[in-house]
């Protein structure tokens, strides 16, 4: 019964990277279930496999072995377009380096995934974008370009962009790594707030122990294996 | 689409340096492309105007026995086969709707005989001169003396041929009706033998030939492409036939002994006197007061003139020719017209086949094609260089934008979106700078044609398509230019697009 409520389900997931004559075993048989609405943190030292795990959950990378189900849907055999559509409709991303489109203003950056979806009318899109920009506190910056914003402000834009499509899952790879502690704290508070309001599942990686207090659940990962949960 | 255009425009403005490099190459490429196309087009138009309209016509009918199609610039001495059934060919040509005009001509090599020296060999066109001038827009202009009038016997020799004959035989040719004037080079005047008549003989490998004494009526040159056509002297068709022993009294080629021919000519000349002497009529015995002798004589003379004219026309057209030069109606397809004509000639079992003007002038057309090919190759080379530079710049741009493109892919942009975005960027650059190049190219071409650059050089004349450099941009050139621009854009974007499409969301993350 509990299996059905899992929004993310990984079984014996392995990921190998060939590196010259050797092979790097980034993940070595991960089993993981994440429930809908969870606020899960993945922690571990650099090179432990946090980002690889997030990439596989986010349909950015494919597992070498094992089964990956998102919302009950097996993704290991999907083609590129199917994976892309899954990312568009089900998953939101927050990157460490924000990764906004430099030539678009804040409104347009947030609007970008909605335009790709081709699902909403112009007025619906405007309403959604405006409300999210308001929610992340950037109402006065809608016409600014990313280069005109601070790091914290850019990460807020990234959060708004990740949430604008009403995804089931938001994946954040060290979202506070490039921010000062105060701004990082604010970002985590914002993510938590969104998690509570929209019941969106958040999975984020970090190696900052201060941010763990926000997490409902923490997974420790080392050498490609989950140490404890 | 709005999003793609917005991102594309934003990226162009963001990477101004690269955009300017790509744009400048596209601009210069388009500019040269338009001017190059205009030169080729001007050359084509010039060749059309100066060769087709003023010398050869579009289609040339030759005998089926004629092996070499290069009938205008064949080696001197190699005969052009005669066409025996012009009357029947004429009927067909008159009935074909795509034919605007046609003219039968004789063309072959003659020898100008000299008692003491080597005979001079040259090419001569035997033609009804008034019709020739009408068909070819009075391309022959007189330098000394005068042109030959309707069915008058006479030789129009080019300045070039006269000089050649002088160099060979040391005598100077002048029109019979011209006094030696001051414009003759005084160096050549003393000591100088003057000739006002030439004895010519039809030359050739297997032709029956005969000599003909022909008066020089004028020294001529061609108003367009004189360097090319100066080897072609003109003679009336009857003298031409005499020289080659073609005669004209029936469809069949008939050989008439020269003595007999002279007698017939003399008889025709004297027959006029029988009716023209009013003295004889006035002194004749009066048979009846009612008889109006003057009226009878007048009527008889008129009848005789008409009969003579009719006979001459019939004779002239019944005789032998070597070629029939044909102009087709504007915008008619040349190849189709040749096909149709050949079909009908074959169906009627006539000793004739149609060839294009390009085939008929052989070497010149080949040379023109060579020049055109060289120009096209040059433009293609420019294309190639432009494509490589644009491709390289865009590829670098794609590599530099890996995080941005990877992020787009991560948030849900398909590969096709990335392709469209890249294509939009390059297309925008091509549109703005390419259009600029086309506009400047058009103005450049216009300015070049206004400069009225002239040349006397044979090679340049072929490149110019005439004596004056007159490149012209036509709608066809503009459409060609736009098409070439699209091709360059598409070819230049293929490789960068491949790079951009390969960028995965993972690449964006791994760059962090």
What would the pLDDT profile of B407-438 be if each residue is shown by its tens digit? Answer: 888 888 888 888 888 888 888 888 899 889 99
pLDDT of residue B291: 56
Report yes or no: B218 and B156 within 8 Å, Cβ to Cβ. Answer: yes
Q: Which of B7, B414, B415 sits opposite A101 (nearest CB)?
A: B7
Q: Which of B6, B403, B506 sits opposite A99 (nearest CB)?
A: B403
Look at the block and give the residue holding tokens 């491949």. B498
Four-CA torsion B49, B52, B56, B60, nearest 10 degrees? -170
Question: Which chain A residue is nearest to residue B510, measuring alpha carbons?
Answer: A51
Interface probe for B, chosen from A17, A62, A84, A143 (most Cβ of B below 10 Å), is: A84
Q: Which tens digit of pLDDT belongs to each residue from B290-317?
A: 556 567 666 766 765 665 555 455 456 6
Question: Which chain B residue is nearest to residue A161, measuring alpha carbons?
Answer: B411
Q: Which of A89, A104, A161 sits opposite B10 (nearest CB)?
A: A104
pLDDT of residue A213: 81
Q: Among A9, A10, A7, which residue's Cα sits nearest to residue A71?
A: A7
- pLDDT average, residue stretch A135-163: 88
pLDDT of residue B255: 44
Chain A residues with CB-CB distance to B512 below 8 A: 95-97, 173
pLDDT of residue A199: 85
Question: Which chain B residue is nearest to residue A115, measuring alpha carbons?
Answer: B3
Strand positions, DSSP E, B139-288: 140-145, 155-158, 171-173, 193-195, 197-202, 211-222, 232-236
Q: Find out whether the peptide bond into B459 is cis, omega within 30 degrees of 0.
A: no
Q: Tell me if chain A has a CB within 8 Å of the CB of B16.
A: no
ipTM: 0.88
**To the nearest whole number, what is the mean pLDDT of chain A?**
86
- d(Cα B40, Cα B471) in Å, to the nearest integer? 7
User: Strand A225-228 to strand A65-70: parallel, antiparallel, or no bridges (unpaired)?
Assistant: unpaired
**B332 contacts: CB under 8 Å, gap ≥ 6:** B98
- d(Cα B43, Cα B30) in Å, to the nearest integer? 19
- d(Cα A200, Cα A57) in Å, to the nearest integer? 15
Four-CA torsion B436, B439, B445, B446, nearest 10 degrees? -140
Whether residues A104 and B403 touch (CB distance < 8 A) is answered with: no
Whether residues A103 and B6 touch (CB distance < 8 A) is answered with: yes
- d(Cα A181, Cα B238) in Å, to the nearest integer? 111
Q: Tell me if chain A has a CB within 8 Å of the CB of B475.
A: no
**B38 contacts: CB under 8 Å, gap ≥ 6:** B441, B445, B448, B471, B472, B473, B477
pLDDT of residue B282: 47
Q: Tell me if chain B has a CB within 8 Å of the CB of A120.
A: no
Chain A residues with CB-CB distance to B408 below 8 A: 101, 112
* Residue with the larger pLDDT of the pair A1 and B504: B504
Q: Tell me if chain A has a CB within 8 Å of the CB of B409.
A: yes
Over 50: is that where the pLDDT of A120 sits? yes
- d(Cα B501, Cα B503) in Å, to the nearest integer? 5
pLDDT of residue A127: 93
pLDDT of residue B96: 92
Q: Tell me if chain B has a CB within 8 Å of the CB of A102.
A: yes
Q: How confident is the model at residue A145 (pLDDT cuts 50, 70, 90)?
A: very high
pLDDT of residue B294: 66
Whether residues B404 and A173 touch (CB distance < 8 A) is answered with: no
pLDDT of residue B338: 95
Least confident of A110-114, A127-131, B246-250, B253-257: B253-257
Q: Tell me if chain B has a CB within 8 Å of the CB of A167.
A: no
pLDDT of residue B135: 93
Whether residues A112 and B10 touch (CB distance < 8 A) is answered with: no
User: What residues in chain B have per-residue pLDDT under 50?
Assistant: 207-208, 249-257, 260-261, 264, 267-268, 271-288, 311, 314, 512
pLDDT of residue B251: 37
Whether residues B412 and A89 touch (CB distance < 8 A) is answered with: yes
Q: Which tens digit of pLDDT belongs to each residue from A14-35?
A: 999 888 888 888 888 889 889 8
Shortest alpha-carbon distance between residue A36 and chain B (Å): 21
Longest dimension (CA), chain A: 55
pLDDT of residue B262: 56
pLDDT of residue B331: 84
Q: What is the pTM of this model?
A: 0.66
Cα distances from A182 to residues A179, A186, B14, in angstroms, run: 8, 6, 32
Chain B residues with CB-CB distance to A154 below 8 A: none
CA of residue B326 relative to chain centroid, distance: 12
Chain B residues with CB-CB distance to A92 below 8 A: 411
pLDDT of residue B60: 95
**A126 contacts: CB under 8 Å, gap ≥ 6:** none
Chain B residues with CB-CB distance to A108 below 8 A: 3, 6
**B109 contacts: CB under 8 Å, gap ≥ 6:** B76, B77, B78, B79, B121, B122, B123, B124, B202, B203, B204
- d(Cα B411, Cα B499) in Å, to the nearest integer? 19
Whether residues B3 and A84 touch (CB distance < 8 A) is answered with: no
Whether residues A101 and B417 touch (CB distance < 8 A) is answered with: no
């Amino acid at each position: 019964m509990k299996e059905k409520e899992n929004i993310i389900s990984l079984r014996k997931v392995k990921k190998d990277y060939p590196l010259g004559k050797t092979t790097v075993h980034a993940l070595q048989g991960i089993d993981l279930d994440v429930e809908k609405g969870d606020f899960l943190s993945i922690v571990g030292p650099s090179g432990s496999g946090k980002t690889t795990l997030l990439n596989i959950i986010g349909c950015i990378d494919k597992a070498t072995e094992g089964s990956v189900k998102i919302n009950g849907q097996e993704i290991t055999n999907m083609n590129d377009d199917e994976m892309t559509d899954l990312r568009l409709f089900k998953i939101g991303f927050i990157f460490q380096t924000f990764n906004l489109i430099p030539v678009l203003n804040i409104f347009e950056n947030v609007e970008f995934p909605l335009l790709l979806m081709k699902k909403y009318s112009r007025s619906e899109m405007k309403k959604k974008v405006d409300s999210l920009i308001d929610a992340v506190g950037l109402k006065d910056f809608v016409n600014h370009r990313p280069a005109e914003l601070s790091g914290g402000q850019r990460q807020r834009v990234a959060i708004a962009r990740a949430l604008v499509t009403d995804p089931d899952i938001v994946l954040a790879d060290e979202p506070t790594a490039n921010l000062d502690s105060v701004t990082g704290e604010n970002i985590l508070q914002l993510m938590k707030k969104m998690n509570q309001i929209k019941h969106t599942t958040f999975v984020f990686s970090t190696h900052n122990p201060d941010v763990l207090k926000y997490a409902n659940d923490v997974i420790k990962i080392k050498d490609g294996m989950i140490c404890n949960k | 689409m709005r999003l793609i255009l917005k991102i594309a425009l934003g990226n162009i403005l963001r990477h101004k340096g690269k955009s300017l490099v790509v744009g400048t190459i596209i601009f210069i490429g388009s500019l040269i492309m338009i001017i190059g196309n205009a030169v080729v087009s001007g050359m084509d138009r010039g060749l059309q105007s100066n060769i087709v309209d003023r010398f050869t016509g579009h289609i040339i009918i030759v005998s089926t026995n004629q092996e070499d199609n290069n009938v205008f610039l064949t080696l001197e001495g190699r005969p052009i086969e005669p066409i025996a059934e012009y009357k029947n060919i004429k009927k067909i040509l008159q009935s074909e709707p795509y034919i605007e005009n046609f003219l039968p001509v004789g063309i072959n090599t003659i020898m100008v005989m000299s008692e003491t020296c080597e005979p001079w060999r040259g090419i001569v066109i035997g033609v009804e001169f008034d019709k020739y001038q009408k068909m070819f827009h009075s391309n022959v202009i007189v330098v000394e003396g005068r042109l030959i009038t309707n069915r008058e016997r006479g030789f129009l020799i080019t300045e070039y041929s006269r000089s050649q004959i002088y160099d060979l035989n040391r005598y100077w040719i002048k029109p019979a009706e011209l006094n030696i004037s001051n414009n003759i080079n005084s160096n050549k005047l003393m000591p100088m033998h003057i000739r006002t008549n030439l004895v010519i003989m039809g030359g050739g490998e297997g032709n029956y030939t005969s000599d003909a004494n022909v008066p020089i009526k004028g020294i001529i040159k061609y108003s367009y492409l004189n360097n090319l056509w100066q080897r072609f002297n003109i003679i009336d068709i009857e003298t031409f036939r005499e020289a080659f022993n073609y005669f004209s009294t029936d469809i069949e080629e008939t050989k008439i002994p020269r003595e007999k021919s002279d007698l017939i000519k003399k008889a025709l000349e004297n027959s006029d006197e029988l009716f023209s002497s009013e003295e004889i009529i006035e002194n004749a015995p009066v048979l009846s007061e009612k008889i109006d002798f003057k009226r009878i004589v007048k009527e008889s003379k008129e009848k005789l003139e008409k009969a003579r004219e009719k006979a001459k026309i019939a004779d002239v057209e019944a005789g032998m020719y070597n070629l029939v030069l044909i102009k087709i109606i504007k915008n008619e397809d040349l190849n189709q017209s040749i096909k149709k004509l050949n079909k009908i000639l074959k169906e009627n079992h006539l000793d004739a086949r149609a060839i294009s003007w390009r085939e008929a002038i052989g070497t010149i057309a080949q040379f023109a094609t060579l020049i055109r090919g060289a120009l096209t190759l040059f433009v293609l080379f420019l294309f190639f260089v432009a494509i490589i530079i644009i491709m390289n710049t865009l590829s670098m741009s794609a590599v530099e934008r890996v995080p941005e493109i990877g992020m787009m892919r991560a948030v849900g942009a398909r590969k096709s979106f990335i392709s469209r975005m890249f294509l939009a960027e390059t297309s925008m650059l091509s549109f703005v700078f390419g259009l600029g190049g086309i506009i400047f190219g058009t103005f450049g071409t216009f300015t070049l044609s206004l400069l009225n650059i002239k040349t006397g050089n044979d090679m340049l004349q072929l490149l110019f398509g005439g004596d004056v450099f007159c490149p012209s941009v036509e709608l066809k050139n503009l459409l060609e230019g736009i098409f070439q621009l699209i091709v360059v854009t598409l070819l230049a974007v293929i490789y960068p697009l491949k790079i951009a499409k390969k960028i995965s969301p993972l690449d964006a993350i791994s760059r962090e």
